[in-house]
């Protein structure tokens, strides 16, 4: 491809306006070509801010010859159909998490992308922040001895009644949108395969969607991951490792702003110390990784298996969890 990656955006979601489009403006080799909405005024407003041509309707954007790839920040239950349409239209796809709501659908979309020789990336953007590489290095150096357990939590305050997470037709609650973060982090750090050993979820009697819960994962080495998620809490975004000689923890693990200098805390028999890391922009990093994969033209992508394992674990949680309406 002899030109910048011409990116189209399907929808004017809040995450696109606040984080993804501002980051795209900082990444060399990416051009915002078009932004589509069912509301022409919304598309025009974002184009005024970030560039590109406003397009009425998602199908119309997929039909454009001046769009090489699309970013899909639509509600979770719409991802499968629009990712499929985009791939069949010959577009590379960066899709917000979760890629789909099932392992079968996730595997089918990656198979289609490989058949079409297109790049498909599920946007768990936190995986592209350098703080997690530093954490992995510290663990590999034996900073807390042998890792025994992982604990992860991502919780947010209750959302307004009209938020898509509260709509079973589009967002379908906290498991898909929020619970995926600590699950993905556990799978990123712990050797696999992981399996769900137990889960408890709460659902709203008003909306029927999942509002929060706890999950226990384990592997064949005896390592466990204790996870908490939900949208009925105070804000927490952290993980912790417990090892044979100490523990390590990190706050703002999943949603650090680009100007935040992350702090890793280490506690051993010698005392507690902190390691301050340089700021990083995980949204710019994921866009750069996506553009690089398109340029390299290599399939299957290295992240395919992680996304399929993620969908498998979410399937297992939904299947075996004890569900308590509240």
Query: Annotated active-site positions, please?
Result: 97
* Nearest of 121, 123, 126 to residue 152 by alpha carbon: 126
Give the whole-angstrom CA distance, residue 131 versus residue 153: 17
Give the whole-angstrom CA distance, residue 266 versus residue 275: 8
Give the whole-angstrom CA distance, residue 30 versus residue 24: 7
DSSP letter string over 92-109? EEEEESPS-SSHHHHHHH
* Nearest of 302, 311, 260 to residue 127 by alpha carbon: 302
Side by side, the strands of the sheet bearing 69-72 are 53-56, 30-37, 5-10, 69-72, 92-96, 120-123
Torsion of CA 128, 134, 140, 141, to 10 degrees: 170
Q: How many CA atoms lie within 13 A of 265 on its CB side?
A: 13
Strand pairing class (246-251; 263-268): antiparallel
């Amino acid at each position: 491809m002899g030109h910048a990656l011409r990116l189209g955006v399907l929808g004017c979601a809040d995450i696109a306006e606040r984080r993804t489009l501002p980051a795209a403006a900082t990444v060399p080799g990416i051009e915002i070509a078009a932004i589509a909405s069912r509301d022409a005024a919304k598309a025009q407003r974002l184009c005024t801010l970030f560039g590109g041509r406003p397009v009425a309707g998602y199908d119309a954007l997929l039909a454009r010859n001046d769009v090489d790839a699309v970013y899909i920040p639509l509600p979770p239950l719409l991802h499968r159909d629009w990712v499929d349409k985009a791939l069949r239209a010959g577009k590379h796809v960066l899709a917000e998490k979760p890629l789909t709501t099932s392992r079968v659908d996730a595997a089918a979309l990656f198979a289609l992308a490989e058949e079409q020789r297109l790049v498909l990336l599920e946007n768990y953007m936190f995986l592209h922040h350098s703080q997690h590489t530093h954490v992995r290095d510290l663990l590999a150096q034996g900073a807390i001895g042998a890792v025994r357990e992982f604990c992860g939590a991502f919780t947010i305050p209750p959302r307004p009644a009209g938020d898509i997470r509260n709509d079973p037709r589009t967002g379908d609650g906290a498991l898909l949108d929020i619970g995926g973060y600590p699950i993905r982090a556990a799978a990123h750090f712990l050797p696999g395969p992981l399996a769900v050993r137990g889960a408890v979820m709460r659902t709203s009697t008003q909306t029927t969607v999942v509002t929060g819960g706890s999950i226990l994962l384990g592997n064949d080495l005896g390592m466990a991951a204790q996870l908490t998620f939900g949208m009925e809490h105070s804000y927490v975004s952290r993980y912790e490792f417990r090892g044979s000689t100490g523990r390590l923890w990190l706050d703002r693990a999943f949603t650090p702003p680009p100007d935040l200098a992350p702090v890793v805390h280490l506690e051993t028999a010698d005392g507690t110390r902190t390691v301050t890391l340089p700021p990083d922009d995980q949204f710019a990093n994921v866009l750069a990784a996506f553009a690089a994969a398109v340029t390299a033209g290599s399939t299957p992508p290295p992240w395919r298996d992680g996304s399929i394992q993620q969908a498998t674990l979410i399937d297992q949680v939904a299947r075996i969890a004890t569900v308590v309406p509240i």
